Amino acid sequence: MMAALKDRYNEFLNEKNAFTDYLNKLEEKTGIQKQYIASGALAFTALYLVYGYGASLLCNLIGFVYPAYFSIKAIESSNKDDDTKWLTYWVVYGLFSVAEFFSDIFLFWFPFYYAGKCVFLVWCMAPVSWNGSQMLYTRVVRPFFLKHEATFDNVVNDLSNKAKNVAESVPTEAFSLLGHDKNK
C-alpha cells in the first residue's frame, strides 16, 4: 500500500497543472527536487495542524478550497460522473460539519484533532477507489436516507410551506406596522 501511495504521489507531481508548474519553477530556482519541496510542505502543514495557531482555519481551507475548485470544474464539464462525485463529497462534508458543531467543544481538546480532521477530509476527497465520501455515502448516508425518506420529505414540505406563508405575510405585516393600509 505504501508503494502504491508513493507511486501515486510521484505520478501526481509529474502531472501538468498549476501546482506542479509552481513546483517546477521552485525546483529551477532553488535546485531542490520538487519531491522534497512538496514533502517539506506536507510535513510543515502536518506540524502546523498539530501545533500551529489557526489550525482550524487551515484545516477548513484544505477541506474546502480543493473540493470547491474541482466542483466548479465538474459543473463546467459535460461529464456527470464528476458532478456526482463532488455532490457526494459535499453531502458528507455537510453532515460532518453539523456533527462537528455539536461535538467540537469536546473534540478540539484532543491534541491531534485538526490533523485527524484534515486526514479525514483528504480521505473524503481523495481520487482513489476507496474514497471516504463515496464509502460513507453508500454505507451510511444512503441507507439511512432511503429508510427515512418519506419522513424527510414530510418535514421538508412542511417547513417549505411554513416559510412560504411567512414570506407571503411579511409585506402585509410590514405595511400594517408602518401604518399603511393597502386597501386605501
Q: Is 161 helix (H, G, I), strand (E, B) or coil?
A: helix
Look up residue 16 and give its DSSP letter: -
As for how many domains the chain has, the answer is: 1
Separation of alpha carbons 56 and 109, rounded Å: 12
Full residue range of the structural domain in which residue 136 is found? 111-183
Whether 141 is covered by a domain: the verdict is: yes
Cα-to-chain-centroid distance, residue 45 = 18
Rounded distance between C-alpha atoms, residue 99 and residue 93, angstroms? 10
CA distance 178 to 75: 45
Per-residue pLDDT tens, the chain, 184 aa: give them.
Answer: 678 777 877 777 787 767 778 888 888 888 888 888 888 888 888 787 777 787 888 888 889 998 999 999 999 999 888 899 999 999 999 999 999 888 877 776 777 888 888 999 999 998 777 889 999 999 999 999 999 999 999 999 999 888 888 888 888 777 777 776 555 5
Residue 27 CA to residue 13 CA, distance in Å, equals: 12
Task: Tell me if 153 is assigned to some domain.
Answer: yes
54: alpha, beta or left? (left if phi > 0; alpha if psi -120 to 50) = left
Q: Is residue 86 part of a domain?
A: no
Residue 96 lies in a domain: no
The residue written with cell numbers 416559510 in the block is 163
- Which residue in the block uniquely carries the three cell numbers 401604518? 179
Whether residue 178 is contained in a domain is answered as yes
Residue 142 placed within a domain: yes
In a domain, 85, yes or no: no
Please give the Cα distance from 120 to 118 (Å, whole number): 5
Residue 70 located in a structural domain: no
